[in-house]
Amino acid sequence: MDSYLVVKSILMLVALSAAFSVFFIRVRRLFRLMRSVQGKLPFTLDRVKERLMVLLTDVVGQSNVRRKALPGVAHTLILFGFLAVQPHSLELMLKGVCPAFDPAKWIPAVYGGYLFVADILAALVLVGFAYAIYRRVVERPKYLTLGTDANLIILFTCGIIVTFQFINAFQALLPVHGAAFDYRGAFPVSGLWIGLLGLGRLGAGQIAAGYEIAYWLHMAIILGFLVYIPGSKHLHLLAAAPNVFLKPLQREKAMPKTDIENESAVTFGLGKVSELNWKNVLNLYACTECGRCEEQCPAAQTGKPLSPKNVIHDFKLDLLAQADAILAQKSDAVEPIVREASPITADVIWSCTTCRACEDICPVNIEQLDFILETRKHQVLMQASFPPEMQATFTNLENQANPWGFSADTRADWSKGMNVPLMCDHPEAEILYFVGCAGAFDDRGKKIAQSMARVLQRAGVDFAILGPEEACNGDMARRAGNEYLAQMLIKQNVEVLNQYKPKKILTGCPHCFNIIKNEYPQFGAAYPVVHHSELLHSLFRQGRLKSVQWMKGVGGNGPAVEAMAFHDSCYLGRWNGIYDAPRDLLRAAGSGIRLTELRRHGEKGFCCGAGGGRMFMEEAIGKRINIERAEEVIASGAAMVAAACPFCATMLSDGLRDCQSAVSVKDIAEIVDEATA
């Protein structure tokens, strides 16, 4: 027996050093790769307390994972059970090398308590996996990657747990030496195996052998898993927590500003994986292909070739495939992202509506849009490659500062005869109403802008517009990759804004709202910005607007409508977290009307299909996103759908018309206008 212990000790020492060395080398390579990429992003560790709280809620509390109930619970069980057996495995490793290592002897109470809890938690892992297997075999959701990688991991982990239980079962049967720890009764679950398999009938030698077999299997699987992790999607185990810890702490975000005037820059945007930044790489490592992003993605759900999950996965594969060149700092040898036979095709990157549903749902806070939008930027600025129909829009934006090419000096024409002052005549106005291109030029949008102006006048708000001094906000050009054009438009507006220094900017379009609020500060214009849903709601609260029996049908001003739904605009909701204001506003305005919700609403609201410049591109692949949304509106039974974005309004109207539906579409400003008239 003693000679066996010596052999075991040597074997364990060799196995442990080998496995941990390989693990260390592989992880070090990944870490170096993360530090070798050239994208510039300074590492700053701010708001550490908040971040620690995030670890507590998101990682320990599993709050994001459990947004999907059953898989979330299963994941929680697996995670905690898996973590619970780790100290035990570590103990066995050390004990294998040095038999004198025996915490059971040193801290018997703690040790016994730990074993008891770990034994239960470990068993729950099997419950979690039972559901995981059921999901993969029976449910088979489309968004889930069903591959060998995942199956191997399930097998590995189940193997670890089952061998853990057998080690425990045999341990309980092993003779107790002297006053050593009594293992009987320490294993509420593993102990069941003894009775179930009649292990008690085995002889002492057989029990000792059984223990050793279980032990070696356990070690083999654990060390195998250790070596396997860094090369698999279960790199997630290592990268998810740091990625969550370093996540952006606020919902609002700005697209990175590219220094297009930097004459020494050799490239713009994201052309090769070597140009990713460290955070992007950490994002890639953290992904475990759960597919929740794909399930939410309007492009993926309507048959487009884009799946945010696959984008992340494909970027990761590309990064790992080209790791040698990147580590050697030979960026010339790195192949471009969009290339012959690359899974990331033009159709993939141009299908994105930038609705941010993927980022919002990701349990580990991956920012998929950073990859897609920066790749677009490179395609437009460096390759001049973009959907051909965008050419006219880009040219119009460049020449007339609006996407349709209407003469820029007619921008205030929508307000003719309405007594709406221009900022140049009334620079002291309390509110600068930034109308936006749709409000200024599109007939549908003009009606919304006119309603808005009427309501403001009714409430006695002191406001003015920029008129011909206003230019397109630059959002569409920026998200369509044309950073150059976007900056031209932004700078034009910033110059005008800085000249007036407005006290508050009001927008009727979430795209104007988002970029002026979150991205104009990059260009030296930081002013308070408010979306019309918020402003109108506050006017109601202040009593400056009063609803006059709207929606009462007979006798009221509005139509006889029973239920109304609100369609969340992505740039109001997911980009800025404004979900309540428009709903509260509708309740305040439409007294007596039932506000119903569309199937996908709030954080899971489904895009209208117009974002990210898609409004000005053809949608030739798959089902049209606005039709999908229109069908959802029809299914909700609402007779009217309220929008808070002129582009949503257009897309919904078009979709509903194509579905030959009588559901009407109104902007919240129009509803308020009718309700307070």
Partner 1 sequence: MATIGIWIETEGGKVKETNFGVITAARGGSGENTLLALLLDGSAEAAKEALAPYGVHKIVPLRAEGADLDQSPDARARTLAAAVEKLSLNALLGLATTPGRDLFARLAAYLKLPLASDCVAVDVARQTVCKSHFSGKTVATIQMKAPVMLCALRPNAVEAQQSPTSPEIAPLTVTVQDPARVRVLEVKKAPGGKIDLAEANIIITGGRPIGSAENYKILEACAQALGAAVGASRAAVDAGFAPHSMQVGQTGKTVSPKLYIGCGLSGSVQHFAGMKTSKVIVAINIDKDAPIFEKCDYGIIGDLFEVVPMLTEALK
Q: Which residues contact partner 1 (rule: CB under 8 A)? A: 389, 392-393, 395-396, 399-400, 403-406, 438, 441-445, 616-618, 624, 650, 654, 657-658
CA dist., res. 451 & res. 529, Å (int)? 20
Helix/strand/coil for 594: strand
How far is residue 19 from each of residues 24, 164, 566, measured CA to CA in Å? 8, 19, 56
Element (H, E) at 463: strand 463-465
HEC secondary structure over 554-584: CCCCCCCCCEEEECCCCCCCCCCCCCHHHHH
Q: How far is the CB of 443 from partner 1 (least distance, A)?
A: 4
Query: Between residues 431 and 665, which has the closer beta carbon with respect to partner 1?
Result: 665
Query: Between residues 236 and 624, which has the closer beta carbon with respect to partner 1?
Result: 624
Q: How far is the CB of 302 from partner 1 (least distance, A)?
A: 14
Q: How far is the CB of 608 from partner 1 (least distance, A)?
A: 14
| Contact present, 617 and 413 (Cβ < 8 Å) | no
Q: Is the dihedral of CA 189, 192, 197, 199 positive or negative?
A: positive
Closest to 159 in 3D by CA, of 227, 85, 92, 217: 217
Torsion of CA 145, 146, 149, 151, to 10 degrees: 140
Query: Between residues 275 and 442, which has the closer beta carbon with respect to partner 1?
Result: 442
**Under the phi-then-psi rule, with left for phi > 0, alpha for psi from -120 to 50, and beta for the rest, what region is 291?**
left
Q: How far is the CB of 222 from partner 1 (least distance, A)?
A: 57
Query: Between residues 161 and 652, which has the closer beta carbon with respect to partner 1?
Result: 652
Helix/strand/coil for 336: strand
Sheet holding 431-434, edge to edge: 463-465, 431-434, 505-507, 529-531
Query: Between residues 414 and 463, which has the closer beta carbon with respect to partner 1?
Result: 414
Query: Between residues 54 and 663, which has the closer beta carbon with respect to partner 1?
Result: 663
Q: How far is the CB of 665 from partner 1 (least distance, A)?
A: 14
Q: Which residues make beta-bridge pairs with 464?
A: 432
The tokens for 166 are 């057998």
Residue whose structure tokens are 């390989």: 22
Strand ranges in 348-390 using DSSP code E only, listed in sequence order: none
**21-28: Cβ within 8 A, 24+ apart:** 22/227, 23/226, 23/227, 23/229, 23/230, 26/227, 26/230, 26/231, 27/230, 27/238
Query: Between residues 580 and 658, which has the closer beta carbon with respect to partner 1?
Result: 658
Q: How far is the CB of 476 from partner 1 (least distance, A)?
A: 12
How far is residue 455 from each of residues 160, 547, 551, 652, measured CA to CA in Å? 66, 11, 17, 24
DSSP annotation string for 251-278: S---PPPP-TT-TT----S--BGGG--H
The tokens for 373 are 């939008």
Q: How far is the CB of 31 from partner 1 (least distance, A)?
A: 46
Closest to 636 in 3D by CA, of 594, 607, 579, 585: 594
Q: How far is the CB of 399 from partner 1 (least distance, A)?
A: 5
CA dist., res. 92 & res. 155, Å (int)? 21
Q: How far is the CB of 445 from partner 1 (least distance, A)?
A: 8
Query: Between residues 257 and 444, which has the closer beta carbon with respect to partner 1?
Result: 444
Q: What are phi and psi of 628, to 5 degrees?
A: -55, -45
Q: How far is the CB of 34 from partner 1 (least distance, A)?
A: 41
Q: How far is the CB of 651 from partner 1 (least distance, A)?
A: 11
Query: Between residues 374 and 442, which has the closer beta carbon with respect to partner 1?
Result: 442
Helix/strand/coil for 303: coil
Query: Between residues 438 and 485, which has the closer beta carbon with respect to partner 1?
Result: 438
Residue whose structure tokens are 């119009």: 396
Query: Between residues 359 and 442, which has the closer beta carbon with respect to partner 1?
Result: 442
Query: Between residues 104 and 489, which has the closer beta carbon with respect to partner 1?
Result: 489
The tokens for 201 are 């009938």
Q: How far is the CB of 620 from partner 1 (least distance, A)?
A: 8
Q: How far is the CB of 387 from partner 1 (least distance, A)?
A: 8
**How deeply is 640 buried, as exposed, middle or buried, from its count of CB atoms within 10 A (0-12, 13-18, 19+)?**
buried
- By DSSP bridging, strand 640-643 and strand 594-596 are unpaired
Query: Between residues 6 and 392, which has the closer beta carbon with respect to partner 1?
Result: 392
Residues for the chain: how many in total? 677
Q: How far is the CB of 649 from partner 1 (least distance, A)?
A: 12
Query: Between residues 445 and 582, which has the closer beta carbon with respect to partner 1?
Result: 445
Q: How far is the CB of 405 from partner 1 (least distance, A)?
A: 6
Query: Between residues 136 and 657, which has the closer beta carbon with respect to partner 1?
Result: 657
